[in-house]
Structure 1
Amino acid sequence: MSRNVIGKHAPINGINLYYEIHGTGTPFIMLHGGMGSFTMLNAISSDLIENYQIIGVDLYGHGRTPLTDRPIRIEDMADDIAGLIEYLGFPKADMLGYSLGADVAIQTAIRHRERVNKLVVISTAFKRSAWYPEIQQGMSSMAPEQFIGTPMYEEYQKVAPRPEDFARFVASMTQALSQDYDWTDLIPTITAPTLIIAGDSDSFPPSHAAEFFRLLGGGQKDAGWNGENLIPSQLAILPHATHYNIVFQPALLLPIITSFLS
């Protein structure tokens, strides 16, 4: 995707939320993973602009959206996204989120059901305890020096309004990711048809993605000869896919996503 597009900032909930729009058609909001920015999703967003109006967002504190004194909280970021949909004049939008962005998308669908048409959730868990123990430990012990030289650090230094805020950003993210959560009772309240995508070698067991699907009403009975018992939501477990490479596999992801959206 060309990076010649000039992004804008929307005044939402006391922050200046960065977004950029590509293409025309049905509005489709895309939310990146933690420590990244919208560019993290380039591998899949570039092919989707032919049929959708892609609204790429830099989540609060990430990328081009400045970090303020507001803590980083999933629920607050979900309110930001709902606010952006209203700001742009859309009654509702399709939404895709990866990792942290998927958490934000889930909470948007829970807290602002009227704003979400279809939901694509890539590589996240609906409760903290589902992540493998080493992942939980890593979330709670992040330090700025761990990121020096990584693409995430380089991107932040390149695009952040205040690159010198990186240490404060990591501290805020560590605090956010250290909080326990369990949305088991909230997942069934999601009304948007939802596509759950996970890797068979993700940072949580495939059984957790199957449980997510079950909470949405799937995997409980035979679909029937004519598919009469199919539910609107779907589940895809991608082969040889990890938490880290899953969004860089457009040949696997795009047919599943476009089929679901259409």
Structure 2
Amino acid sequence: MSKYIDTNGIKLHYLEFGNPGNPTLILMHGLTANAHSFDRLIRGLNNYHVLSVDLRGRGKSDKPDTHYSMQDHAQDILGLMDALELESVSLGGHSFGALLSIYLAANHSERVNKIVLMDAAAQLHPEVKQMVAPSMMRLEQEWPSIDAYMEAAKNAPYADGYWNSDMESYFMADITMTEDDTVRTRSRLPHITQAIEGALGLGVTWLDHIQSIEQPGLLINATEPYGVVGDPILPKELAMETVNMMKNCQYQHVSGNHLTMLFNKGADESAEAINRFLNQQDLSQIA
């Protein structure tokens, strides 16, 4: 169910699934993504009350000109929790959303029970900027029609060979029509650039944040090639560095690359791992 709530000076859009009486898991998407990133994953999380959020500047949430620091994003989520009277929750995030999960767990530990990190760590592939460039470039483009936009999405280097209906619905949620009937993404490059600066700028010490986390964690890692470089965005050895930095974190490999892990077999494998983790079961039984 699509819902809005006022928090931290903006209107935040989120998708709600499951019974509110069940334990709550809040999911937060990647840097340029939207709440529909997790549609397939959520289908495997039947025993939870799941909230999938459009972070500020993305999807159907408000897009202020400024204030895209990690603290701003965190206050949005805390305001959502306050409005829904959620004292503490489990947090899950993909990429940028995983960093936000780390930030919240480290700085607001009393509000976070467990964290699920999907393909994010203290260090990523050294050529990560080149690898994500096609995703960033689409934020400044316009397409003459929805068909043209979808054709470009299907042919993107990170989606080649993986396209399915789940990816199509995600990319459809990413666009809006302009006054002249052309198509462009809902997210704008200046806002995303500010979010990058907020995540990587002065005052954000990820090593300190990661090492301070007391809550149980699960790091889910997809190691198939992403984009033109031909390597994973998060190689296993870098993922394990972060797992070993945390006091209580487990590692789970899943199928797919940094993006397709959310829309294919990797999403089903991730849901199974998350179910086991949130129920404190042994992950070693998962292939």
TM range (shorter): 0.7 to 0.9
1:178 shift after superposition: 5.3
Query: Which structure 2 residues correspond to residues 99-110 of structure 1 after superposition, within 5 A?
Result: 99-110=95-106
Superposition TM-score, scaled by structure 2 size? 0.73
1:168 shift after superposition: 7.2
* Partner Cα distance (1:79, 1:159) in 2: 30
* Superimposed CA distance per residue, residues 213-241 of structure 1 (whole angstroms, 9 cap, x where no aligned partner): 11113xxxxxxxxxxxxxx4211123x53
1:207 shift after superposition: 1.1
Q: Give the alignment's Cα RMSD to 1 decimal.
A: 2.7
**Residue in 1 aligned with 2:5?**
10
* Partner Cα distance (2:184, 2:67) in 1: 14
Which of 197, 212, 218 is matched with 1:195 structurally?
A: 218
Does the CA-based 8 Å contact 1:63-1:159 persist in structure 2? no
SS in 2 for 1:10: strand
1:93 shift after superposition: 0.5
1:169 shift after superposition: 1.5
Does the CA-based 8 Å contact 1:197-1:237 persist in structure 2? yes
* Superimposed CA distance per residue, residues 44-88 of structure 1 (whole angstroms, 9 cap, x where no aligned partner): 11221x201111211111111010122322332122112211221
1:34 shift after superposition: 2.2
**Residue in 2 aligned with 1:136?**
129
**Residue in 2 aligned with 1:209?**
239
Q: Kindly, what percent of the aligned residue pairs are identical? A: 27
1:40 shift after superposition: 1.2
1:167 shift after superposition: 8.2
Does the CA-based 8 Å contact 1:139-1:174 persist in structure 2? no
* Partner Cα distance (2:48, 2:114) in 1: 13
Structure of greater relative contact order (alpha carbons < 8 Å, 6+ residues apart): 2
* Partner Cα distance (1:256, 1:153) in 2: 25
Are residues 1:174 and 2:204 paired? no
Are residues 1:40 and 2:40 paired? no
* Partner Cα distance (1:216, 1:234) in 2: 9
1:260 shift after superposition: 0.4
**Residue in 2 aligned with 1:245?**
260
Superposition TM-score, scaled by structure 1 size? 0.79
> Structure 2: where are the runs of 5+ without partners?
144-148, 154-167, 225-231, 280-287
Does the CA-based 8 Å contact 2:59-2:173 persist in structure 1? yes
Task: Give the 3 Å change call, closer, same or farther, for CA 104–52 of structure 1 in structure 2.
Answer: same
Residue type matched to 2:277 in 1? F
* Partner Cα distance (1:140, 1:176) in 2: 15
**Residue in 1 aligned with 2:156?**
none
SS in 2 for 1:184: helix
Query: Which structure 2 residues correspond to residues 1-262 of structure 1 after superposition, within 5 A?
Result: 5=1, 7-24=2-19, 25-48=22-45, 50-127=46-123, 130-133=124-127, 135-137=128-130, 142-143=136-137, 144-145=139-140, 148=143, 149=149, 150=153, 154-158=172-176, 166=185, 169-177=188-196, 180=200, 182-201=205-224, 202-217=232-247, 232-238=248-254, 240-248=255-263, 249-262=266-279
Residue type matched to 2:126 in 1? Y
> Structure 1: where are the runs of 5+ without partners?
218-231
Q: How many residues align?
A: 236
* Partner Cα distance (1:74, 1:237) in 2: 27
Residue type matched to 1:216 in 2? M
Does the CA-based 8 Å contact 1:79-1:108 persist in structure 2? no
Does the CA-based 8 Å contact 1:36-1:155 persist in structure 2? no
* Superimposed CA distance per residue, residues 3-62 of structure 1 (whole angstroms, 9 cap, x where no aligned partner): xx2x222221111111232111111111122222111111111221x2011112111111
